[in-house]
Amino acid sequence: MAAALFCLSSVNFAAALNDTDSVVTSVFSRTFNNYQRPVRSNGSDQPLTYVVAKGGAEPGMNRDDSMDDVKFAGIVRVLGKYLAKQSYFPAKDGKKADLMLVVHWGKTIPGNDGLSRNMLDNSLQSFETLQQQMHKGIGRAPGIDVHADEKARARNQVTDALDEAAQEEIVQGMFEIRFAQDARIEADRHNANLLGYTAELTFRDNPSLYGGVGTAYYDLIEDVESERYYVAITAYDFQEALQHKNKKGLWHTVASIDARGNRFDERLMAMVERASRYFGRDSGRLIRQFEYTPHIDFGELKQIGLVEQVPSGQK
């Protein structure tokens, strides 16, 4: 007797594009040591083989389950799909691979993070409080409105009245402000280098900023001062490293997106796909584009009936 199979199907399978599925992806790619992607006689890319090494992950400032759920093996699988489209294939014999690909991924820590912001706000508040105390002291000083020399003496008396703790507070406040500013500058510099923004920021920092010509420079600053997910791939000449112990870099490509409103696990494929277009090539400048990414709505699963199992040998 034939057995019955219980079948489920989606009644609303659809691919839709909407505002929630759009993202600005930034990509920067550069080559080193005069590297040029090898081509065949017909001009197509020559297939190259590779091995993959784990460069490391940067978790950002706060725990992020969308990153915790992604393992290195999963990143390699996604990466392999798009490497193959660019004629890069896993080496069957690791010792004969053309390239070693080192993969880094993570989330940046912005320079205007809460710690630096709070430090700066607290320091400014301390200065304001001390200034108010000084003005009150001057207002109460005897003879302040009589003669200029008496006003000066009163002002000196108030200054002397500030105890040693207050003086130390001023010095400490100045140090904290300077520290917060330096930390922000250093973080901006680090993130700009990491994401490939440095050259573009330099290019955009010109007199047109003061002429009302677009907001490109400020958009870039907002990027480096926001949390961003990124994936970076660096290619090395594996045979050079294996035979001569020489770590010769050939190319480096990095893609990033704003972490706000996004999840790393959901956007990983889009970042890798965008970056893969430049593997082995120099992008020239930062490529920063608004793009749509597909969203699949499977709808509600419903029972559509019973199907009789077809006996063996029948069609």
C-alpha to C-alpha distance for 98 and 75, rounded to whole angstroms: 21
- Strands of the sheet with 48-58, listed across from one edge: 88-90, 48-58, 99-107, 228-237, 249-258, 22-31, 287-292
Contact 297, 12 (CB under 8 A): yes
Contact 227, 109 (CB under 8 A): yes
The one-digit pLDDT tens for each residue of the chain (315 residues) are 444 433 333 333 343 434 445 678 999 999 999 999 999 999 999 999 999 999 999 999 888 999 998 999 999 999 999 999 999 999 999 999 999 999 999 999 987 655 555 555 565 566 566 556 555 554 444 444 445 566 566 556 555 555 555 666 666 666 666 766 777 888 899 999 999 999 999 998 887 777 666 688 889 999 999 999 999 999 999 999 999 999 999 999 999 999 999 999 999 999 999 999 999 999 999 999 876 554 434 345 444 444 444 454 554
> Has this prediction a pTM greater than 0.85?
no
Q: What is the DSSP letter of 290?
A: E
Strands (DSSP E) found in the chain: 4-10, 14-16, 22-31, 48-58, 88-90, 99-107, 228-237, 249-258, 287-292, 295-297, 301-308
Contact 250, 35 (CB under 8 A): yes
**Structure-token pair, residue 83:** 């490497």
φ/ψ of residue 281, rounded to 5: -135, 160
Q: What is the DSSP letter of 2?
A: P
For CA atoms 59, 64, 68, 69, give the dihedral sign.
negative
Closest CA to 67 of 261, 268, 274: 268
**Structure-token pair, residue 253:** 């490509």
Strand bridging mode 48-58 / 88-90: parallel
Contact 13, 53 (CB under 8 A): no
Residues sharing a CB contact under 8 Å with residue 277, sequence separation 6 or more, in sequence order: 27, 86
